Amino acid sequence: MSSTWRRAAVFSLFSLLAHRVVSDTAISPSFSYGTETVRGVNLGGWLVLEVRGSLDRCRPHPWITPSLFDNTGNDNIVDEWTFAELQDTATATSALQNHWNSWITEQDFADIAAAGLNHVRLPIGYWAFDVGPGEPYIQGQVPYLQNAVGWAGNYGLKVIVDLHGVPGSQNGFDNSGQRMNYPEWQSNSTNVQRTDAIVKTIASMFANNPQVVSIIEPINEPAGYDNNGNQMLDVVQQYYYDSYGNIRYSFGTSEESNTVVLLHDAFQSLSYWSGFETPSNWQGVAMDTHIYQMFSDSEVAYSDSQHISAACNYASTLSGFDLWLIVGEWSPAATDCATYLNGRGIGARYDGSYAGSSYVGSCDGLTGSASTFSSSYQTFLRQFWEAQTITFENNAQGWIQWTWKTESADEWSYQAGLANGWIPQNPTDLLYPNICG
C-alpha cells in the first residue's frame, strides 16, 4: 500500500468521527498540561532491560543493571532477546522475576512523590503483550505494570506508559529489546499491525484510569535518521495518526478518552513536526524530545561551562512549539563514562577508549559511586541539573530525568542526586536560579 492510500484511509475514518469531535468537549487530562509543570523520572532498567547497542549515533541509555548481565557469564548476552535466547529459560525467568520484584517497589513511588515529582515514565516492551513465533522473549511484565500504576495512584503520581520496544525494533538499540544494525519495524507491515494492536491493548487497559495513566507514548525513539528513502518517517507519521485513534478512542466507540498521546520526535528537529496533529483538529497530543550532551565527540569534549551554556541555549530550540512539549529524557551526566553506557565491551569517548574517539580526560571520579565524586564535580552536577530544569520548565512543559536509579552510575541516578545533594529535595529549591542569565 502506498502511504498516501493509508493516510487517506485513516482520514476517512476520522472524518466519520469528525462531527462528534467537534461537538465533544475537549480532552480533560488529569494533569493540566500546558499550565502545570511536568517534573518526573524514568523508571529505566526495570520492565525493559537496558544495555546499549554499539551504533555510533544518537542517544543511548546507560546500562542500568550490569549485574543482571554479568551474572549470566555469557558475553554474547547483549539485550533482552539474547538474555532469553542464550540461557536456560528457567534461569532467565527467575533472574527476571527477581529483578522485577526488587528493582522498583512501592517505596520508590513514595520516594519519588516525596521528592516533589509528579510524573514517572515507565518503559515497557511489546513482548510483554505479544511474543511471536521465533521470538525468545520471556513474559510476565504486565502484572508489574498494573502494580506500578496502582502504586503511582497511591502517591498521586501520573504515569506515562512508554512502549519502548516494538516488533522488528524501531532503532536497533538494545533497549528496544533487540540490538541490530538496522531497524526492521518500519519495513514490515505485520510488525506495525502488531504494534497497533498492542497500543490498543494498553489504551483499553487504562482507558478508565486517566487519573493515573495520563499519557501513553506509542513508540520510543523511532530512528528517523535511518530514513532510507523516507520509509521510516512515512511509517512513523502514519503510525502516529493510527495511534491517535487507538489512544483517544480507546473505548472502541466514538467516546473520547482523557488520555494524552505522546509522540517522540524521531530525532527530527521540532520544526519538522510543526503543524503535525495540532490542537485545531487534534486534542491531547504532546511531543517528547530527548536531550543528551555526551553522545558525540564534540559534545563530550565540552568544558563544564560549555555544557551549561549548551543547556541554556536549548531555550530557543524548544520555545514556541505548537504542541505541549516534554523533555522526556535528559541527564545531569555530561560524559559517556558510565560502565557499558555505549554497550557491553565498548569504551567511552571521554577517555578515548571508544573506537575512533580521542582522549578528553580520565573517567576516574566521574562515574560509579558518588563517594568518589569531588565536591567541585558535585557542584557542576548541581549547576548542570539546574540549567537544564530551568530551561525545560521555561521553554517546554517540563522534564523527566533519565533515570530514577542505577546500580553503579550515580551521575545518572536521581536517587543518588537526592542522597548526595546535587539534586534538591524539592525541585524548585534552586541554588543557581540565574545560571542561564
- The residue ranges that bind ligand NAG (CB under 6 A) are 132, 167, 188, 190-191, 194
The CB density around residue 254, as the number of other CB atoms within 10 Å, is 12
Provide, rounded to whole angstroms, the least separation between the CB of residue 177 and ligand NAG.
12
Min separation Cβ 123 and ligand NAG, Å: 20
| CB nearer ligand NAG, residue 178 or residue 258 | 178
Q: How far apart are CA 420 and CA 377, in angstroms?
A: 12
DSSP structure string for 75-127:
TT--SHHHHHHSS-HHHHHHHHHHHHHHSS-HHHHHHHHHTT--EEEEEEEGG
Give the nearer residue to ligand NAG in terms of CB position, either 112 or 166.
166
- 329 classed as catalytic: yes
Residues facing 124 on adjacent strands: 163
From 221, 277, 386, 411, active-site residue: 221
- What does the alpha-carbon distance between residue 240 and residue 277 come to, in Å, rounded to a whole number? 9
Q: How far is the CB of 239 from ligand NAG (least distance, A)?
A: 14
CB of 238 to ligand NAG, least distance (A): 17
Residue closer to ligand NAG, measured from CB, 52 or 179 = 179
Q: Given the complex with ligand NAG, which of 127 and 240 has the nearer CB atom?
A: 127
- Report d(CA 296, CA 299) in Å as an integer: 5
Instruction: Compute the least distance from the CB of residue 119 to ligand NAG, in Å.
Output: 31
Q: Which of 50, 80, 329, 411 is catalytic?
A: 329
**Rounded Cα distance, 13 and 183, in Å:** 29
State phi, psi for 159 to the nearest 5 degrees: -115, 130
CA dist 283 and 313 (Å) reads: 30
Q: Measured from the CB atom, is 172 or 398 closer to ligand NAG?
A: 172
* Length of the chain in terms of residues written: 437
Indicate the SS3 state at residue 162.
strand
Q: Is residue 221 annotated as part of the catalytic site, yes or no?
A: yes
Q: Which single residue brings its beta carbon nearest to ligand NAG?
A: 188
Catalytic residue positions, numbered: 221, 329
